[in-house]
Structure 1
Amino acid sequence: MTTAALLPLEQHESPWPAADTVVLRNRPLRVGTDPAMLSRFGDPVWHIKPAHPDAHLNIAALIWARYPNTFQLPFKTFFLAALDHPYPGDPAVQRGGERAGVATFRYWFMDLEIFAKWLDDHGITRLCDVTAQDLDAYRAHVLGLSRKEGRKIDMLAAVRTLWLYGPHLPEEGRLSTGYPWPGASDDDPKRPAEGRENKTPRIAPETMTALLAWALHVVESVGPDVRDAWVTHQQINAGVHPSQAEYRGPTFDRVLQYIERCRRTGESLPGLRQKDGTVTVNCNAIKRMIRTPELKVRVGITPSQKRMLSDSGLPIAQDTYVGQIAGMIDGRPWRETPITLTELRTLVRMVAAACFVVICYLSGARPGEVLNLRPGCREVDEETGELLMVGRRGKGFDRASLLPEEVTEDQRPWVVVAPVHAAIALLESLGDYPFLFPASFTNAHAARPNEFNARQGWSINNDLEDLLAWVNATFRRPGEALPIPPDPTKHLHASRFRRTLAYFIVRRPRGLVAAALQYAHVHTKVTLSYAGRSDTTWMDDIHIETLELVLEQNEQDARLLNEGEHVSGPSADEYRHRVRARARFAGRVVTAGKSVERLLDQANPNIHHGEGMTCVWRRETAACRQARLEAGLPAEDGPDESECRSACTNLAYTDRSIVEQRLRLKRWEVTAADRLAPRPLRDRAAALAAGSRAIIDAHGHTTDSNNQTREH
C-alpha cells in the first residue's frame, strides 16, 4: 500500500521537495497504518516505522533537530531519495537494485549526523561546496576517533552512499567531488574477520528439558483456566457477561439485586486486600459486575450503598476471584485457590510466555518470525496431512509487509507438531488481537498500540525469565530441587532456542523427554520445513552439533577401547577398526557450512550407540532398512532403532551396552513373573528377557581382538 503519488522532485518550482511530501510515499506500509498520520517532508520528526515489515521491532524516528539547521534540508532530501529509490550501483560493491531497509536509515542517520556537524564546524554550509581535500580531512578525522574499526568503516561508507544518490538530489544538495576514497590504502580501517561461526550459546540440557516440559504443562493444564478467567474478566468489563443480564434499573436497585444474587448462590462479596493486611469490599469490582449506568460510572457506588453492602451480612472473600481451577498436573489441581483479579494479568503473561516456548522451540522458527504470527496461522496440508504454521519470512531484503490480499511469496509455512497448534489455539482464544503476541495482552501503551505492534524481543526475553521464576516459585515442593534449574551460561534468550533444538535433535536423549514428546519427530518436521529453502543456517546448526557429537563419541570410544572395553557381536571387528581409524583429531577451524559437512564426512565412523546395543551402520546389511523396504516405506540412510532386528549383522555390543541389557533383563524378568499381568504381556516379557540373556551370555564368552576369553 502506498499513499497518493506526489509530483516528482524535478516538477516542483523549487529544487527541494515540498513540505507536504509524504516521506513514505513509495514504500509499502504495515497493515493498520493510518495514512493521515504519516510523516511529511517538512516535519521536524520522521516516523519511518510503518514501512518496516516486522511488527515486533521499534524503529527509531529521525529527529532532525540533531542536524545543523543549514544541513537539515539537503539531508532530508537525501533520505527521501533513499526511501524512494533503490540503492545505486557502488563502484566497489555492486548492490544496484536493492532497496535499503528502513532499519538501515537509523545507522545512516547517526553516521551522516557526524559528517554534517563536522562540515558545520569547518564553516561549510552547502554539500556542493565540499572538496576532495575536505573529504580527505574528514576521513582523517574519522580515523582518529576512538571508535571500533567497524564503526569507522560504516561512517565512511555513509558518505559514499550520500555521493551515490547524487543523481536524485538537487545540485546544491549533492557532493560534487569524485567517488570518495576509491582506492584502498594501508591506513584504511579493517573490519575484523568474523566468519560464519554460530556463537549463540546453547541452553543447558537440564534447563531446556525442564523448561519445555513445564511450558507444555502450562499450555495444557494452566492455560485453559487462565484463559477462561481472562475472557470472563474482559466480558465483565465490557458488560456482556451472561451473569450481568439480570441487573436492571438505577445503581441502588442493582446493588440490592447483587446482594440477593449472592445470598441465593452462596457467593461471597469480592474482597480487596489493603496495605495493612485488612480486607474490605471491592466496590470497583461490584460496580463492573452490576453494570453501573454510564452516567454513574464516575461516581460509582455511593457511601450509603457501600454501607448497605457491609451491613448485608454476606461474607467477604479474601480477594476478588475471577476463575476456578480445573486443570490437573501430576493428578492434582495445579493450585488450591481460585484465580484472583490481582494476579490475572501476570498469569496471562506467563501463559503467553509458555506458548512462545512451545511455538518457537518446537518449530525452529526465529523469535521475530514467531512474534509476527497472526491469528489464523494454523493450517493442515491437504495432501500430506502435515500440520503447518504459516507466517512471514524473517530474513531477506525483499521482505514486504503488504496488505493481506497482496501478500504472496512473503508468506512461508513451517511444518510443526501438534503441541505447536495447541499453543496457537490457546493464544487465539485469549481475545481478538491482531498478533498472537501483541504488544500487551492487558494494557498496551499508547505509543505501541496492540493493533499495530507485536511484543518486542527484549520483552519476550523478560517474560521467559519471569516464567522460569514463576514456575519455580509456584510448583516447587518442600525438600525438592527447583522444577527448572537455572541456566549456568546466561539468562534465557529466545535467540538461543534454535541452537539448543539442534543439539537435542542430534543427541536425541532417551526415555521420557518433555512429556513424551519425541525429538526424532520434531527433527523430521523442522528439517522438512527448511529443506530446499534459502535459509541454510538451520542445517548448519544441525551439522555443527552432529560434528561435535561425532568427535566426542570418537574420543570416548577410543579411550574405552584402549582401556580394555570388550566388544562382541557380528560387527565387533568392524567397530574396533572404525574407532581406531577415526580416533585422532587434532582440531580444525571451520568458517562455512560446507567445511563442516566435509569434516563430518572425514570424521564420522557411522557408529550409532543405541539403547543396549551399537549399530555399525552398513546400508547393504541393515535389517531395519530391509524391513522398511518390505513394508513399502522409504528407506533412510541411517539406522532406525524402532525397526532394529536382533539378527542384524550390523550389531555390536560394548560393555556399556551390556550394562543397559542387564537393567532391561531385570525389568523383563519382573514383568514375566507378574501373575497379575495379562498372559500375552508376560509371554512377550519372557521372550525379551531370553533375548537379553543370550546377548549377555554371548558377550561374556566371546574373545576380543587378542583372543582372550571374557568371563563376566
Structure 2
Amino acid sequence: MPTADSLVVLPQWISAGNTHPNSRYAELIWSLGPLIDNPGTAIVAINWTNCPEELRGQLRPAAWTMINGQLRATYLRSRGVRARARHSPATLQENCREWMRLARWLHKRGITDLAACTDAEWRGYAAQRWDDGCGRESAEVVLGRLTALWAFDQLTAQRAGITRPPWDTEGVDDFLPAVDGSAGGAENSGEPLDPQVIGPLLVWAIRMIEDFADDILAAWAENRRMAALAAATPATPDGRAALEKHVLPLVRSGAPLPAAEHKGTHQLARTFLAAVTGASLGQVDRLNDRHGLTGLAAERPGPCPMTVPVTGKIHGRPWREYLDFNEAADLMRHLGTAAMIICLYLTGMRPQEVQGLRSGCCPDPEPAADGTPGRHLIRSHHFKDVTDDDGNHVSAGEEREVPWVAITPVVRAIRVLERIVPDGELLLSSAHHDFTFQRGHRGTLKKHALLLRIEDFVAWANREARANELPEQVIPKDPHGGIGMARFRRTLAWHIARRPGGLVALAIQYGHMRTVLDARTSSGYGTRSRGGIHSVLDVETALAAADTAAHLRDRMAAGEKISGPAARRAVTAAAQAPRFKGRIVPKTFAKKATAYLARDGIVLFDNPDALLICAFKRDNALCDPAPDATAPNQYACKAGCGNAVRTDTHARLLRERADTISRKAAHTPEKLARRLRGNADKLRAIADAHDATAQPAEALT
C-alpha cells in the first residue's frame, strides 16, 4: 500500500527528460504530467475533491494501482486485441472520473463502502447513467471503465472488495441503451466543414502565408526592436524635448493621440511614443500625468504607424496603408493560425501530428538524377495507437515510417513557422507563439488555445473581407458547429470524394494522386497502416456513392429513363445501395465503407463535369485506374467508356450546357467561336443519343 508521502507516479514510468512535477499520494490533486511526453497534450490531473470523502480512501488504491501497475495477461487475453495492460493519461483521468461519478451515486443512496456495490447497484447505476443521455457506443466505453475499477481493485494490496460487474460475466449487449438512431457527441466530431466555409477560410489562410507573411514578420521585428529600445532608453533632456515637440501640438490641436487598446478601453501608447521620440518611459509617464494624456487618448485614439514597408496586396491594392505597432502581436497570432490551418487541411494530418511538428521537419529535397526537383516530405511523429512491445500506450509517440507529402502551400506555411521559432523547436511552440504576454509556457499550443485562435482568425478575416469589399470571401458560420481541428481531416476526404478536379486547392493536389491513394502503394499514404487517411477517404467516397445511387433511384421512381452501356448494372446498383441520412459516421463504418466500395461493377459515382454516372468496373474503365482501384479517375473520364450511364436529367443538363456555350460563341472571335459551336453540337448529339436509346428501369430488370 502507498503511504501519504508516496509518489503518485513511480520513477520507472517517467521517461528521461520529463520535468513535470510529481504529486504525493495524500494530495487532493494528482497530476499525471510525469506520464505525458506528447507536446500537444494538455497536462491532466485526477481531482479527488469530486469524490465523497467516505469513499475516497477506497478508490485511491485502485487508482494508484492503475497508474503504476499493469493488468494481468490472463485478464487481457479475454478482452480482445485492443485491450492494454496500461492506459494513457487521458484514459486514466476519464476512468477515475467515472469511478467518482459512481461513488457520488452510491453516496446519495447511503452506501459508503464499495463492497456494498452489489449486482443490484451495478444494474441501477447503469440504468440511471443511460437516462442522463448516452449513446450506445459511449455506453460501452462507460461499462469498460467500470469494469476496470473491479479489475484494478483485484490488484491492490488491500482490496475494497467491490463485486464484479454483471455485464463482465453476462455480456454487455443487454446492458447497453437501445439502438434508437441517436448518436453520442464524439460521433459528430468528424463532420466535414461546409464547402462555403472551407473555401474562403483556405483563401485567407493561404493569403496570409503567401502575401502578408513578410510584412507581418517585419512588423513584429520592428515592434520588438521598438519595445526593447523604449525599455532601455535613459531619461535625457533631448528625449524630453523630442517627446514634447511630438505630443503637445497634438494635444493643443485636438488631433488623435497614439493609443493602445486594453480590455476594451484606449490608453496612451507609452512604449510607442518612447521609441519614436527617444524619450524614456518615465518621461512619457510624467508628461501623461501633467497633461492627462490617457484621458485624451481615450477620447480621440489615434494610430501608431511603424516605418515598415507594406508589400502585400489584395486584388492589386496594398492590404494596409501602414502597419500599426499595436496590431503586430495579433497579426503574428493570426499568421501562426493560418499556417496551422494549411498544415491541417492540405496534408490530412491529425491535429496532434501537426502539433508535434518541429522546425526542420520538411527539408528541401535533393533534385533527381535527371534534374527534376524532388518532392518535399514531412517527417513527423504520430501518437494515435502507438504502443510499446508490451502493448502499452507510448505518450511520446513515434516517427512515422511513411512521411507526408507536402505541396507548395504547406511547405510555405512550414517555412513561415520556422521563421517564428528557433531551429529544432516545435513549430507551434507555446513559448514562441505567446506574442502578447511572453509567458514562456512549455510544449506546444494546446487544443483549446488553437480552437480559440481559429475563431479569432475567422473574425479577423471577415473584418478584412468587409473592409476590402469582398463579400464573397466572408467566412460564414458552419451549420454543424465550430471549426474544430479534427474536422479538417474529414473535410479533406469529402472534397476528394465529392469534388474531383478541385473546387478547393487540396482537391486539385489529390486529384492527380487518386490512383496512388487507391493503390495503397506505400502501405498507406502518410500513415503507418491502412487506417489513416484511406479509411476517412473510403468513408466519404462510400457516402458519395450511396448518395448517387439514392438520387438515381429517386429519378427512376419519378419516371426518368436511363441509357448507356452500364444502364442495367446501374439499375441493380441503385436497388441494392443503402440510403444514408445525415453525415454522422460511427467508428464501425470505415470497414463497411471499404467493403461497400470493393463491390466492383455495382458502385455508382456521380461525375457532374461529364454529366453522367459511372458504374465503375475496373476492366471496362478508360480512365486508367490502378489494378486495385475502387473508384474511377473522374477527372480523366473519356467518351465511349463502358461504365457510363445517363438519365433524362443528364440529357437536359447537356442541352443547357450546349445553349450556354452557343451564347458564348456569339460573342467570341470566329475561329474560337467555331470550336465552341462544335463542342455545343457534340453535347446535343450525346443528349439526342440518350433520347434515342433510353429505357425505363422496368425494362432493364
Q: What's the TM-score, normalizing by structure 1?
A: 0.72
Give the aligned partner of residue 437 of structure 1.
Answer: 428
Q: Say if 1:556 and 1:393 are closer, same or farther in 2 by CA, change over 3 A.
A: same
Give the aligned partner of residue 419 of structure 1.
Answer: 409
**Counterpart mapping for 1:6-45 below 5 A:** 16-17=2-3, 19=5, 21=7, 23-29=9-15, 33-34=18-19, 37-45=21-29
2:694 and 2:129 map into 1 onto residues whose CA distance is 67
Give the aligned partner of residue 394 of structure 2.
Answer: 400
Give the aligned partner of residue 35 of structure 2.
Answer: 51
2:355 and 2:461 map into 1 onto residues whose CA distance is 23
Structure 2: gaps of 5 or more residues: 248-254, 294-299, 388-392, 581-585, 696-701
Q: Return the letter of the residue paired with 1:423.
A: A
Of 296, 321, 325 in structure 2, the residue corresponding to residue 341 of structure 1 is 325
Give the aligned partner of residue 380 of structure 2.
Answer: 391
Q: If you compute each CA radius of gyration, which structure gives the higher value, 1 or 2?
A: 1
Note if 1:225 corresponds to 2:215. yes
Note if 1:587 corresponds to 2:587. no
Q: Return the letter of the residue paired with 2:394.
A: A
Of 488, 497, 501 in structure 1, the residue corresponding to residue 488 of structure 2 is 497
1:495 and 1:81 map into 2 onto residues whose CA distance is 33
Q: Is the 8 A contact 1:612 1:660 kept in 2?
A: no
Of 88, 91, 94 in structure 2, the residue corresponding to residue 101 of structure 1 is 88
TM-fit CA distance, 1:176: 5.8
1:703 and 1:258 map into 2 onto residues whose CA distance is 84
Q: Say if 1:524 and 1:19 are closer, same or farther in 2 by CA, change over 3 A.
A: farther
TM-fit CA distance, 1:209: 1.9
**Counterpart mapping for 1:526-537 below 5 A:** 530=525, 533-534=528-529, 536=531
Q: Is the 8 A contact 2:336 2:417 kept in 1?
A: yes
Q: Is the 8 A contact 1:438 1:450 kept in 2?
A: no
Structure 1: gaps of 5 or more residues: 1-14, 263-267, 311-315, 675-681, 708-712
1:238 and 1:29 map into 2 onto residues whose CA distance is 39
3-state SS of 1:704 partner: helix
Q: Say if 1:562 and 1:705 are closer, same or farther in 2 by CA, change over 3 A.
A: farther
Q: Return the letter of the residue paired with 2:415.
A: A
TM-fit CA distance, 1:502: 1.6
3-state SS of 1:26 partner: helix
Of 352, 355, 360 in structure 2, the residue corresponding to residue 371 of structure 1 is 355
3-state SS of 1:474 partner: helix
**Counterpart mapping for 1:253-402 below 5 A:** 253-254=238-239, 271-272=258-259, 282-287=269-274, 299=282, 301=284, 303=286, 318-322=302-306, 323-335=308-320, 337-379=321-363, 385-396=374-385, 398=387, 399-402=393-396
Note if 1:599 corresponds to 2:593. no
Q: Say if 1:475 and 1:526 are closer, same or farther in 2 by CA, change over 3 A.
A: farther
Q: Say if 1:364 and 1:96 are closer, same or farther in 2 by CA, change over 3 A.
A: closer
Q: Return the letter of the residue paired with 1:442.
A: D
Q: Say if 1:142 and 1:490 are closer, same or farther in 2 by CA, change over 3 A.
A: closer
Give the aligned partner of residue 542 of structure 2.
Answer: 547
1:329 and 1:483 map into 2 onto residues whose CA distance is 14
Q: Is the 8 A contact 1:284 1:300 kept in 2?
A: no
3-state SS of 1:62 partner: strand
1:686 and 1:101 map into 2 onto residues whose CA distance is 68
Q: Is the 8 A contact 2:4 2:25 kept in 1?
A: yes
Q: Return the letter of the residue paired with 1:611.
A: D
Give the aligned partner of residue 698 of structure 2.
Answer: none
3-state SS of 2:486 partner: helix
Q: Is the 8 A contact 1:226 1:344 kept in 2?
A: yes
Q: Return the letter of the residue paired with 2:681.
A: R
Note if 1:157 corresponds to 2:147. yes
3-state SS of 1:174 partner: coil
Give the aligned partner of residue 110 of structure 1.
Answer: 97
TM-fit CA distance, 1:574: 0.8
2:222 and 2:257 map into 1 onto residues whose CA distance is 15
Note if 1:88 corresponds to 2:72. yes
1:552 and 1:118 map into 2 onto residues whose CA distance is 46
Q: Say if 1:146 and 1:545 are closer, same or farther in 2 by CA, change over 3 A.
A: closer
TM-fit CA distance, 1:221: 1.9
**Counterpart mapping for 1:572-651 below 5 A:** 573-585=564-576, 587=578, 591-602=588-599, 604-605=602-603, 609=607, 611-612=609-610, 614=612, 624-625=623-624, 640=633
Q: Return the letter of the residue paired with 1:303.
A: R
1:355 and 1:479 map into 2 onto residues whose CA distance is 22
Note if 1:465 corresponds to 2:459. no
RMSD value, Cα:
5.1
TM-fit CA distance, 1:488: 2.6
TM-fit CA distance, 1:51: 1.8
Q: Say if 1:558 and 1:688 are closer, same or farther in 2 by CA, change over 3 A.
A: farther
Note if 1:704 corresponds to 2:675. no
Q: Is the 8 A contact 1:504 1:519 kept in 2?
A: no
Q: Is the 8 A contact 1:270 1:319 kept in 2?
A: yes
Q: Say if 1:702 and 1:381 are closer, same or farther in 2 by CA, change over 3 A.
A: same
TM-fit CA distance, 1:358: 1.4
Q: Is the 8 A contact 2:386 2:398 kept in 1?
A: no
2:410 and 2:533 map into 1 onto residues whose CA distance is 19
TM-fit CA distance, 1:360: 0.9
Of 22, 39, 45 in structure 2, the residue corresponding to residue 61 of structure 1 is 45
3-state SS of 1:553 partner: helix
1:461 and 1:474 map into 2 onto residues whose CA distance is 20
Q: Return the letter of the residue paired with 1:327.
A: G
1:387 and 1:281 map into 2 onto residues whose CA distance is 48
Q: Return the letter of the residue paired with 2:592.
A: S
Q: Is the 8 A contact 1:143 1:189 kept in 2?
A: yes
CA-to-aligned-CA distance 1:670-704 (integer Å, 9 cap, x gap): 66537xxxxxxx6xx85575455345356547861
Q: Which moved more, 1:455-464 or 1:551-560?
A: 551-560
Q: Is the 8 A contact 1:30 1:52 kept in 2?
A: no
Q: Is the 8 A contact 1:215 1:355 kept in 2?
A: yes
Q: Is the 8 A contact 2:39 2:356 kept in 1?
A: yes
3-state SS of 2:380 partner: strand
